[in-house]
A and B are shown apart, each in its own frame.
Chain A
Amino acid sequence: MERSRPTGDDPRSPSTDPEPRAAAPHRAARPKVARPLLKLTARSLVRVLVMLFLVATVTFVAIRAMPGNPVDVWVQDLQDSGLTAEQAQAQAHRVLKIDVDASLWSQYVDYMNNLAHGDLGDSIILSPGTPVTEMLSGRLAWTLFSVGIGLILAFVIGLYLGGVAAYRRGGWIDRIITNGSAVMDAIPPVLTGIALAFYVGVVWALVPIQSLRGAYSPDVQPGFNLDFMLSALAHVIAPATVYVLATVGSWALAMRSSALSVLNDDYVAQARARGLSERTIRVAFVQRNARLPLVTGFAITMGFVFSGSILVETIFVYPGVGQLLSDALARRDYTVMQGIVLATTVTVLIGTAIADTLNGWLDPRTRTEQDA
């Protein structure tokens, strides 16, 4: 007679059945999750690397390889302002870390080599000589912070609203949520941001947005203290609200349609036939199944919100990567621009990989798929 052994933690106590029967379990078995998940993560990482490679190449082509590209223009400008050809090229070499005069292919190799070592060149105009990576590191953290909060809040709120709308389909709540979401979806986040800044900050003066510029108040010391954390949270309210308003509508609509489709599925009806409570059905059957298709949308939304951060940070004077890009665009600082493109790409791709892994954990069907 075989006894099944559990894998992983099992807090249940052993059976106290006095009459051992033919196949009575000592403890029922648990499914294995770890191995397939690792494989999934590995595959995601490979995908990230491949995409990164492609994006880096595209960036190189745009900035260096096309006729009329900015580097050539800049070298020409340097020459016009008095430098000799060699001097101009030497300057370019110092800043970009590639030999501007060599063949395109060798420049590409140098470029890729630099990237592999984490060298993004130096800023040309904004802060000449400063390595781009240095300029990015602090700012990236703030952008991640504000974007992250916005994304998670929008996801949670949107899913809740979508679920409510699906369950009360056709009712007035449903109509409000659906139409409201569609309207919010259509309004560009930049306009939401500005409207918010204007009405809440200036006209109604509810929130002192002028004093909420920057990531935290100037009189607060950064570090692991409560003052700092509270201040940081206060300053992130405005940008985060815009991110939430810009995306919550599409989450709600997506969740609503997904939940409606699940509610229509036979296994839900079957669950009712089995006498399960509505609450169990709502959580274990509807919610858990309805949110699955949405997890993949998370990656795309991330890209969208990151892009939106450029505008939002400019409007609310928030010291993130978006604001830096704003400046770089205005002043034509190519290395910084290039660095930002690559940095945001990496971030979004990593976020995508995480979302994929999350999806694998939540949906057992994807774990056993042979091809991605």
Chain B
Amino acid sequence: MTSLDAPKVLEVTDLGVEYRQQDRAVHAVSGLSLALGQGETIALIGESGCGKTTAALAILGMLPASATVVSGAVTITTDGRATDMLGLAPRELRAMRWQHVAYVPQGSISALNPIQTVGRHFQQTAQAHDLPRREAEPRAYELLAAVHLEPDRVWTSYPHELSGGTRQRVVIALAMLLEPEVIVLDEPTTALDVITQEAVLRTLLELQAATGVSYLAITHDLAVATAMADEVITMYAGRGVEYGTAEQVLDGPLHPYTRGLMRSMPSVDSDLVAETIGGYPPSLSALPPGCSFHPRCPLAEDSCRAGGAPELLAVDERRVACPVIVEQVAATGGTR
């Protein structure tokens, strides 16, 4: 439930990120904007390679050296103070990280130092942020318990000794150690079996309810979006093409791409065969003219194939970057 009154903890305005690949520029992200309120979850959905992870890394200031932020602003508001993330010096950035914005990566095994115990990770993180052990360890134990793990057993284990689901929860607990305002979840359930997925999602929601943390969930799994999101943003070829509440976007998608995504998910209680969206996502270094989606779009018209990328247009309380759909909606007089 989006409440416009909830104070915004993370605001991204018109973010643009480019990679330099030898002689060509790859437009990984263009014109992305979002506003995450306290205690809320925004899901960024889209296929692999659509720029969602790049956007997340840009927010954290963790872009690799070959990438540059070419436009936009990222602001994190904590205790009433707004910080421009993109303009921070390295030392200030280090202080902001984890304390105010944390990152749970895809694939938990790669998040942990293989030659350190779980406990050592917590100690190290606490030390780096001047949190005395006396406070950090009990809190860590509490968090491990909160994610339904046995603190004693897990504390002395090495990452390779734990199952995928356990590791994912350890990483989540670690993310919560300093009580950040925002946690960016990158594909929180990929590489987990279905049952563990459900458990992890439930844990995430519990934590949110208990602490009021905000999530930015990046996923290509619509089930995750359905379970967690208040707002949904669909990304395609580096752009946000549809914005709305979870209900609006997931139950009544407007953008042809989002519709295609929904249709490609088989449903348990229907006999409809899932349909794929024909074609492949475009190369981010050679985007088609006009709307990036037009080669695969069933509604494409001549105006879609030329000019720049379509602007985000407001429809009811949502936004869609597709003039064709907006016209259709206006013509039929409702969002259906």
Contact = CB atoms under 8 A, between A and B. Distances in A.
Do A and B actually bind? yes
A15 interface: yes
B110 A266 contact: yes
B141 A273 contact: no
A21 B138 contact: yes
A341 interface: no
B114 interface: yes
A271 B134 CA distance: 22
Contact of A22 (B96, B137, B142): B142
Contacts of B152: 2, 4, 25, 29
Q: Is the interface of B mostly helix, strand, loop or mixed?
A: helix
B142 A267 contact: no
Interface stretch (B99-107, B251-259, B291-299, B322-330): B99-107
A364 B213 CA distance: 35
A24 B141 contact: yes
Contacts, number: 111
B139 to A, nearest CB: 9
Contacts of A363: 115
Contacts of A186: none
A266 B112 CA distance: 8
Contacts of B105: 266, 270
Nearest to B91: A277
Contact of B125 (A2, A30, A276, A285): A276
Q: For chain B, give the interface size range.
A: 35 or more
A364 B114 CA distance: 8
A9 to B, nearest CB: 15
A267 B112 contact: yes
Q: For chain A, give the interface size range.
A: 35 or more
B161 A265 contact: no
Nearest to B62: A273
Contact of A365 (B98, B114, B174): B114
B142 to A, nearest CB: 6
A81 interface: no
A319 to B, nearest CB: 42
A271 B113 contact: yes
Contacts of A28: 119, 137, 141, 155
Given A284-B116, A289-B113, A31 B138 contact: no
Given A273-B103, A277-B128, A280-B124, A362 B151 contact: no
Interface string B45-83: 000000000000000101000000000000000000000
The 8 A-B pairs of least Cβ separation, nearest first, read A266-B110, A275-B97, A31-B156, A24-B138, A275-B98, A270-B111, A364-B158, A276-B128
11 contacts: A17-B134, A22-B145, A25-B138, A25-B151, A30-B156, A31-B158, A273-B98, A273-B103, A275-B94, A284-B113, A365-B158
Given A22-B145, A267-B113, 6 more contacts: A265-B110, A266-B110, A273-B97, A273-B103, A274-B97, A275-B98
